[in-house]
Amino acid sequence: VVIEDNSIQWVTADSPSKATAMGIEIVGGEEGVSSDIKLTNNEITISGDAGNMYGIDCYSNPWDYDGAIVNLRVQGNKITLNGNGFVEGIYLSRVIDSEVSANTIAIESTGGNAYGVGTDNIHDVNVEGNTISATTTAEGKKAAGINLYQSDINEKANDITVSGATAQEIKSDSESVVYALVDEDNYDQFFDAEGKYINEAENITLADLSNKDITFDSPVNVKGALGTKLTNMTIKLTADASGSRISDLTFVYEGDDLSWYHGVIDVLSGAKDIAISNNVLDITATNAGGTAMAIYLSGDIGDGLISNITISENEINMKGTAQYLYAVDAISNSWSSDDTAVIGIDAYNNKINLEGPYYVAGFYLSHTADSNIHDNLITGLVTGTGSGVAYGIASDCASKMIYDNNVIDLAADSSGSTVYGIQAAPSYGGTPSTDITVTNNDITVSGASAIGVGINGGNSTIKDNTIDVTAADNETIESISTADTVGTGNSGVKLTGGANADVSGNYINTNQNNMDLAGAGSGTKVGSNYVKEYIEKEGNPDLPSAPKATSSTVQSATVTADPNGKSKTQNIAITVKDANGNPVAGQTIQVYVNGVLKTVKTNDKGVATLAVPYKAGGTVSLVASFNGATGLLGSSATGKLTVKKNAVKIAAKTKKVKKSKAKKAKVKFTLKVGKTVLKKKAVTIKINKKTYKAKTNAKGIVTFKVKLPKKAKKYKYTVKFAGDNFNKAKTFKGKLTVK
């Protein structure tokens, strides 16, 4: 919708003081989000005594519907308001991804607050280049150019003049954030010639910028403006930038300037409490034979330790001719020392895709400790013809690391390639990695040498992973190996050195079959793993049997809502059996009831019973999952609880009335469902061309006070109950005799 070039002039002199006057009103909410609306070059002039006066009013219905209005453009309007109550030039509530720019707003109140632009729960809205004058002459009232409530805006180059008992150019509550909007036009107000940040703003939004290397040495909250990108840009965070957040930026990088010591986002020695979230990094590295990194953590021992780094929800795509491609690289600047240089990485929900000629790595973590890499998707391909290497997650000289619930899919085309899903190796000085936990990962690797999980170190735990290994050269694959090298070879799991490893509960699928447990460290446990092709082809009785399939069923049922809206429950049975029809007893079942998680346990008959709550008519969705157990595969099933509405009966209690001196008569009806009366239900009657409204009482009786017709005769009427969440609509027609 485009509303432009209109002139709106309104004098509200005759309006009551509590009335509201609006030049343009935009509403969105439950009945539909309002989007893609332009309000441009309109001239709005309102004056008078309306209690509330808005030039442009944009809000949600109901009031708390987030994102009610999207992509609103309010540009180039002239708004003049003069009133004696609350006056606001532009009001934005529950608006996102929008722009208010180049408007001229002049407002004045003699009896209330005056706000040029007012907000309530708006996000990612640019407020730029407006000329705002806000004045109140009332004692104790407030004037503000921009008034923020629980909102964040990107603010740039607004010319604001305010006057009043309490006057602020920008007024905000504790939950609001004003981001300074930075683009090519005002870049030099924020960064010097060398790219060092020189502004005092702690919150900034970067719009379209290109060919700049910028450095922050103070805590900042940096985000990207909607629909913009940073082209061939890099960001550095020094130790003095600890506590910073980098989010919602889109990087497009193509070139040969990245190196071993320089990524697109660099976290330098001593930095801590950094969050890098929800960014997109598209990198094409053309430095043939060189190195490119998307996110680079360059720590050191002592005061140079990097700590508490969150890397989440990022999308990283890397390709090109660079010899080494790292999505996330953590290193120690002191290669000669085996001390920890990076501690406390929490990396989750990142999507990483790599394609390079020689060496690719989703995460490479060197001299790193106490970190959790979980719930990431990592895909990669080595395309070169030489001795390529691909890592999903690699580490050296690492300790107390958790790698959990990642999906890793890697391949290498060349005959000399090595592919690791997850690897932990010693440092260059020979210090092994220790206390590595690898759980619940889904790993697929393919190459001349392919290893699902390879660990060189002690106290490792490798449990409940699904590992699929394909050897491109069709060599023998060891499903589990504790041989004395962790280098090339083909294994689902390969352990080297160290004691007290626990390898259990893994599902390993290979295209060749062998298990080599020679040289296992003391305390190593290998058991309860399912090696698919080894068991199927060899039938070794000493290995555990293949897990049995299971099937789950969820009972569906139909019930009727309580007529007066009381909550009820219905028992639903979930049954789990194995492939032979035997009950699966004593197992936990997860049941999502309309998306809300419940848990129950099966009894000796493999049946779990859940009391499902219901109230209104409709359908309750049921999704049950058995996640498997030792010797049993998981299964799931769906069902539903159908809640029917009631049929309503309306009966007339009043059939005749006598004309008297009274101008109105009482006409009564009852509303019932079976023998149950309906309480506090809205009902209408139409009689003699007039409609009356009333509600039923505690006895289900509705009483209408109808105006008596002048003539004595029979009058047709229609009584309607519109229905509600529990009962169907009902229409009752009859005749009322007037004597």
Rounded Cα–Cα distance for residues 587 and 576 (Å): 9
State whether 86 and 175 are in the same domain: yes
State whether 561 and 469 are in the same domain: no
User: Contact 155/125 with Cβ under 8 angstroms?
Assistant: no
Integer CA distances (angstroms), 501 to 12, 398, 676, in order: 81, 16, 67
Domain termination residue (choose one: 179, 212, 246): 179
Contacting residues for 201 by C-beta, under 8 A, at least 6 apart: 179, 180, 190
For residue 545, the 8-state DSSP code is P
Domain termination residue (choose one: 525, 546, 567): 546
Rounded Cα–Cα distance for residues 646 and 648 (Å): 6
Q: Please state whether beta strands 730-738 and 714-721 pair in parallel, antiparallel, or not at all (unpaired).
A: antiparallel
Task: Give the residue among 643, 642, 640, 644 at the shortest CA–CA distance from 591.
Answer: 640
Rounded Cα–Cα distance for residues 93 and 118 (Å): 8
Full strand arrangement of the beta sheet holding 730-738: 656-657, 730-738, 714-721, 682-687, 690-695
In the prediction, which pLDDT does 707 show? 84
User: Is position 591 within any domain?
Assistant: yes
Name the domain count of the chain. 4
Contacting residues for 729 by C-beta, under 8 A, at least 6 apart: 648, 720, 721, 722, 723
User: Contact 723/644 with Cβ under 8 angstroms?
Assistant: no
State whether 19 and 129 are in the same domain: yes
State whether 501 and 385 are in the same domain: yes
Q: What number of CA atoms fall less than 13 Å from residue 616's CA on the CB side?
A: 4
Which CATH number is 666's domain given?
2.60.40.10
The Cβ of residue 736 has, within 10 Å, a number of other Cβ atoms equal to 22
Contacting residues for 494 by C-beta, under 8 A, at least 6 apart: 451, 453, 454, 455, 478, 480, 481, 482, 483, 486
Rounded Cα–Cα distance for residues 560 and 147 (Å): 50
User: Is position 281 within any domain?
Assistant: no
State whether 588 and 712 are in the same domain: no
State whether 416 and 556 are in the same domain: no
Exposed / middle / buried, residue 516 (Cβ in 10 Å: 0-12, 13-18, 19+): middle
- CA 182 remoteness from chain centre: 26
User: Is position 18 within any domain?
Assistant: yes
User: Is position 560 within any domain?
Assistant: yes
State whether 497 and 424 are in the same domain: yes
In the prediction, which pLDDT does 543 show? 45
For residue 189, the 8-state DSSP code is G
| Mean pLDDT by groups of 10 residues along the chain of 739 residues | 96 72 93 93 93 94 88 97 95 95 96 95 94 94 94 93 91 89 95 94 94 96 93 96 96 83 90 96 89 92 88 95 92 74 94 92 94 95 82 92 94 80 79 88 87 84 86 56 53 74 78 52 63 44 59 90 92 91 92 89 94 90 85 84 92 83 81 92 90 92 85 87 91 88
Domain termination residue (choose one: 179, 207, 237): 179
User: Is position 354 within any domain?
Assistant: no
In the prediction, which pLDDT does 542 show? 47
Rounded Cα–Cα distance for residues 679 and 696 (Å): 5
User: Is position 464 within any domain?
Assistant: yes
Task: Give the residue among 207, 130, 110, 67 at the shortest CA–CA distance from 118.
Answer: 130
User: Is position 731 within any domain?
Assistant: yes
Q: What are phi and psi of 304, to 5 degrees?
A: -85, 5
User: Contact 286/257 with Cβ under 8 angstroms?
Assistant: no
Task: Give the residue among 395, 310, 338 at the shortest CA–CA distance from 361.
Answer: 395
State whether 571 and 653 are in the same domain: no
Q: Where are the alpha helices (DSSP H) in 422-496?
A: none
In the prediction, which pLDDT does 499 show? 65
Q: Which two tokens stand for residue 521?
A: 């460290």
Q: Which two tokens stand for residue 545?
A: 């049997």
For residue 538, the 8-state DSSP code is H
Q: What range defines the domain where residue 526 resides?
A: 376-546
User: Contact 66/94 with Cβ under 8 angstroms?
Assistant: yes
Q: Which two tokens stand for residue 164?
A: 């009043």
Q: Which two tokens stand for residue 267?
A: 């976290």
Task: Give the residue among 371, 314, 311, 316 at the shortest CA–CA distance from 341.
Answer: 371
Integer CA distances (angstroms), 565 to 327, 413, 568, 617, 680, in order: 55, 65, 9, 10, 11
Rg (CA), the chain: 35
Burial 32-44 (b: 16+ CB within 10 A, else e): ebbbebebbebbb
User: Is position 674 within any domain?
Assistant: yes
User: Contact 681/598 with Cβ under 8 angstroms?
Assistant: no
Dihedral, CA of residue 151, residue 154, residue 158 and residue 162, to nearest 10: 20
State whether 674 and 526 are in the same domain: no
State whether 29 and 52 are in the same domain: yes
State whether 466 and 515 are in the same domain: yes
Rounded Cα–Cα distance for residues 509 and 504 (Å): 15
Q: Which two tokens stand for residue 344?
A: 């406390």
State whether 465 and 408 are in the same domain: yes
